[in-house]
Structure 1
Amino acid sequence: MARPPGPFLLLLSFLLLLLLLLTAAATGRPCGPAGLSRDTVLGRPGANVTLTCREQGLANVTVSWQMEERGAGGGPRRRLAEGNALLLRHLRYEDSGRYGCYGGGRLLRSLRLLVEEPPETPRVSCYRRSPDKDILCEWPLRVKPSPATRATLWVKRRFAAEDATAQRCRYFSKARKFVCRVKVPPGADTESLVVSTCVSNGAGGSAGEDRIITLSSVPVKPDPPVNVTVQALEKAPQRLRVNWSYPSSWDPRFYWLRFQVRYRPEPAQTFTEVDQVMTPWLDIRDALRGTRHVVQVRAQEEFGHGTWSEWSREVVGTPWTDPWDLTSEMGPFSSQFPMDDDGTYGVTLPPELFWEDAADGAGGAVVKASARSVASPYAFLVAGGSLLLGIALFVAIMVRYRQMWRTGGQRGAKPEGEGQHVLVPLGPPSPPLSDTPLLSPPSPPDPRGLHVTNLDYFFSGQ
């Protein structure tokens, strides 16, 4: 009688069954081209390729080549070189198409040239633009893919036997990345999802590693702030006011954002960063006088959950300059590059995907800015007025003392007795205390009395 299988054999059988199920699910997600036909010649961009009409050349027959159709760019039929072999140098994507060799007025052979580069292996990262938005998965590319490159994303429940749902991804040339929108299956809000990616073209295919995600574990990555402007503040030569708005994908009524601002004077390459900005505006108080400044802003969830957004597009602004200062270089107070949109993908795509890469072609040496002290004409006016006032006061004092010296000299030259005043008693002798009434009647002023305003009395010799 056969013994029943032990626990180890049961576990092994379960693992083999699970492996078969996973393999069966994977076979429904092919990644790569179906195969090249016998009349197709594959060439790499930048390489050389030779197209041969016949293995052995035809005697007394002139062979000519023509391009029957152009694959990537389209265009009319055109005549090429003559000979049994056609050499094409430095291939481009636009060289893809069908080539035919003709001899004696008839078609001898037709070949299809495919100029492709095998796709890069996708390294996918997923995020949410806000806590109540859908999931986006994306991956960047080092080089621009061929026009025939296609990317697909599959989504399925982790422990379900159902087939994966295929979703088409879109390539954005300006951001140089593929972006896929993850459509969560109904009822899978709290379940784990398996996300798979595949990129393929005529030269081959490449599949990315499967990612297991849940709605709660996907980080929040907001869109960059929009409507960023830089304004000069009047009579503030070292200040700039930066304003911006929340992105349309983020609702500030339920969730807030915190911001980070960075700025630099041109042509310096080092930024100064300001963190923990909770308001949609910031005053820069250490700007350089008369110098254009480059400003960018990015955002993050209020409590630091998730990751920072991409930096906003660069905007420039110049601090206020005194109009009387003829030595300063006037420039525009603020400028903002216009935004462009080369397509729509619903309302689920972040706006930075449509922006130009501001860093392209931004090389060059860093020039050290020279500092110049700019003096205001008001300072010269105040200094000159103070100097004139001091001179006038000094002259007035000297004139006054000179008059006093002259007056003193003239009094010393008078004849004896002239100009002398006889001291007059202030009144008759006081009567005894008993004869003095408590209230005496008022008496008229004595014209011979002493007057304080008579300054000659003080300057007399007596």
Structure 2
Amino acid sequence: MAGPPPTAAPRRPLLSLSFLLLLLITAAGRPCGPAALSPDTVLRRPGENMTLTCRDEELADTNATVSWWHEERGAAAPMAGGHRRHLLEGNVLPLRRLRYEDSGRYSCFSGGRVLRSLRLLVEEPPETPRVSCYRRSHDKDVLCEWSQRAKPSPGTRAMLWMKRRFVAENATEQRCRYFSKAQKFVCRVKVPPGADDTKSLVVSTCVTNGAGGSAGEDKIITLSGVLKPDPPVNVTVEPLEKAPQRLRVNWSYPSSWDPRFYWLHFQVRYRPEPARTFTEVDQVTTTWLDIRDAWRGMRHVVQVRAQEEFGHGSWSEWSREAVGTPWIDLKELTSEMGPFSSQFPMDYGTREVTLPPELFGDAAADRAAGGTVVEASARSVTSPYALVVAGGSLILGIILFVAIVVRYRQTRQLGRQRGAKAEGEGQHTLVPLSPPRSPPLSDTPLLSLSPEPQPSRGLHVTNLDYFLAGQ
């Protein structure tokens, strides 16, 4: 009986020689592993406990004195004259809650003779690097960095390799530095002159210490793809006169970017301080922008960021916040709010408003002359128009009062004169005892037909003495 046909042996995929060569080229030049430890080295992690004992057990039954000494990391051999300190005396040395600073060489002595010596290394395996690279401009070096959750041990080393992809050449090796303030490693790789910005590069990283090594995942980059400019600088926000809803924003290129050869385009975002969301304006090619929908009388927060003019790479970080308030019409505020005050009641808190110095007297004028901003306060300030009206009313009242006083005096003086004349009417004029000689009545005609012309004299009707003198 014929059995089943023999099963064909599975074919194993054959790797071409060129692909194997590429793998070897990619992996070459970046060994990543822990450094070799000497036989007398003991490795422990931070926070662990351990106990050291002298090697000769016979000394436990004798009265020989045993002392322990510690030489800090870096001492070449025992008794080398490094930084040594005496710990304690006894055959046993307990070490609790080890730290990085406890690393070094421990030796026990008896009678000037070394009984035991060992090197303690307190290390923790390094974190796996997750690298990211960027370039501030076309003519700058490439910076690669990655963050660390915890501070690495003093013996930690970080290396970076960069080479062109699919090219059999030696990789560029670079030592990386740790910055404790930023808590990250940073590597600077110089770009050879004339390098093609569009060619792919392979970036490899490795972090090692006495406890082990950790290699990061290879990263494929291009010089144009890692462009990331620095944020724009000197961002200012200024009001436009007689435009209560407009603001002018100005900024400058960062010093790391040369605009003579390559340009940037910008993105601007702004918001009034009470609001939490930004309004964004894209594709700004100039170093200024007019905001035309600002809120009246509200302070606005503005930020700017930049990117390479053709969109290569990524956006920069946002610039520092700059603030500005649109132009304010003081006449309109006076008519709407009555007596002008430096404090504006708002639902969103107290704001700062720049006021003309003449409204606050000499002391405030001196402060405002220096360009300071008058903060909102509870002190009210009288409107200049109210001062003009009050001054005019005061002057008119004074003039009216003086006119009344003068009129009263004139009326009183006239009354006195009339009273004096009334008293003189009861007196008679003295006449001589002998009557004047006059012609007899018969000689005097009753009517004169042709009276002689007499010189005209003015008749004062108001003078009563003229009519009463002959009576």
Which TM-score applies when normalising by structure 2? 0.57
Measured in 1, the distance between the counterparts of 2:371 and 2:119 equals: 57
SS at 1:387 equivalent: helix
Give the partner amino acid of 1:389. Answer: G
Match for residue 389 of structure 1 among 369, 388, 392: 392
The corresponding residue for 1:307 is 314
Change (3 A) 1:16 1:95: same
Measured in 2, the distance between the counterparts of 1:93 and 1:264 equals: 51
Give 1:164-243 correspondences, 5 Å limit.
Answer: 164-183=171-190, 189=196, 190-216=198-224, 218-226=225-233
Change (3 A) 1:129 1:203: same
Assess if the C-alpha contact under 8 Å between 1:152 and 1:198 holds in 2. Answer: yes
How big is each residue's C-alpha offset from its partner over 1:325-383, in whole Å with a ceiling of 9 and x where there is no partner?
Answer: 999xx9x989xxxxxxxxxxxxxxxxxxxxxxxxxxxxxxxxxxxx955556353x543
Assess if the C-alpha contact under 8 Å between 2:158 and 2:206 holds in 1. Answer: yes
Shift of 1:396: 6.5
Shift of 1:150: 1.3
Match for residue 141 of structure 1 among 111, 131, 148: 148
Measured in 1, the distance between the counterparts of 2:389 and 2:259 equals: 56
Assess if the C-alpha contact under 8 Å between 2:138 and 2:227 holds in 1. Answer: yes
Assess if the C-alpha contact under 8 Å between 2:126 and 2:152 holds in 1. Answer: yes
Assess if the C-alpha contact under 8 Å between 2:22 and 2:166 holds in 1. Answer: no
Measured in 1, the distance between the counterparts of 2:168 and 2:316 equals: 37
The corresponding residue for 1:433 is none
Change (3 A) 1:320 1:185: same
How big is each residue's C-alpha offset from its partner over 1:381-416, in whole Å with a ceiling of 9 and x where there is no partner?
Answer: 543442343465578689999999xxxxxxxxxxxx
Give the partner amino acid of 1:202. Answer: G
Match for residue 63 of structure 1 among 44, 62, 66: 66
Measured in 2, the distance between the counterparts of 1:49 and 1:80 equals: 15
Measured in 1, the distance between the counterparts of 2:50 and 2:276 equals: 47
Assess if the C-alpha contact under 8 Å between 2:123 and 2:153 holds in 1. Answer: yes
Which TM-score applies when normalising by structure 1? 0.58
Assess if the C-alpha contact under 8 Å between 1:232 and 1:333 holds in 2. Answer: no
Match for residue 249 of structure 1 among 220, 240, 256: 256
Q: Is 2:84 the partner of 1:77?
A: yes
Match for residue 102 of structure 1 among 109, 117, 122: 109
Give the partner amino acid of 2:34. Answer: P
Measured in 2, the distance between the counterparts of 1:167 and 1:373 equals: 60
Change (3 A) 1:17 1:280: closer
Shift of 1:220: 1.7
Give the partner amino acid of 1:201. Answer: N
User: Gaps (5+ residues) in structure 1?
Assistant: 1-7, 234-238, 335-370, 405-462
Shift of 1:322: 7.3
SS at 1:133 equivalent: coil
Measured in 2, the distance between the counterparts of 1:30 and 1:280 equals: 48
- Which protein shows a greater Rg? 2
Give 1:38-437 correspondences, 5 Å limit.
Answer: 38-54=39-55, 56=57, 58-59=59-60, 60=62, 61-71=64-74, 76-183=83-190, 189=196, 190-216=198-224, 218-226=225-233, 245-254=252-261, 255-258=263-266, 260=268, 298-302=305-309, 304-311=311-318, 324=360, 377=381, 379=383, 382-390=385-393, 393=396
SS at 1:151 equivalent: strand
Measured in 2, the distance between the counterparts of 1:403 and 1:178 equals: 96
Change (3 A) 1:149 1:312: farther
Shift of 1:50: 3.1
Give the partner amino acid of 2:145. Answer: E
Measured in 2, the distance between the counterparts of 1:294 and 1:42 equals: 55
Measured in 2, the distance between the counterparts of 1:377 and 1:97 equals: 74
Shift of 1:240: 11
Measured in 1, the distance between the counterparts of 2:260 and 2:108 equals: 69
Q: Which moved more, 1:270-279 or 1:54-63?
A: 270-279
SS at 1:383 equivalent: helix
SS at 2:42 equivalent: strand
Change (3 A) 1:322 1:399: closer
Measured in 2, the distance between the counterparts of 1:214 and 1:158 equals: 10
Assess if the C-alpha contact under 8 Å between 1:231 and 1:333 holds in 2. Answer: no
SS at 2:217 equivalent: coil
Assess if the C-alpha contact under 8 Å between 2:137 and 2:228 holds in 1. Answer: yes
Assess if the C-alpha contact under 8 Å between 1:232 and 1:319 holds in 2. Answer: no
The corresponding residue for 1:35 is 36
Assess if the C-alpha contact under 8 Å between 1:68 and 1:99 holds in 2. Answer: yes
Shift of 1:157: 3.0
SS at 2:152 equivalent: coil
> Taking every aligned residue pair, what percent have the same amino acid on both sides?
63
Give the partner amino acid of 1:211. Answer: K
Measured in 2, the distance between the counterparts of 1:288 and 1:51 equals: 75
Measured in 2, the distance between the counterparts of 1:92 and 1:319 equals: 57
Measured in 2, the distance between the counterparts of 1:57 and 1:294 equals: 79
Measured in 2, the distance between the counterparts of 1:94 and 1:64 equals: 21
Equivalenced residues, count: 350
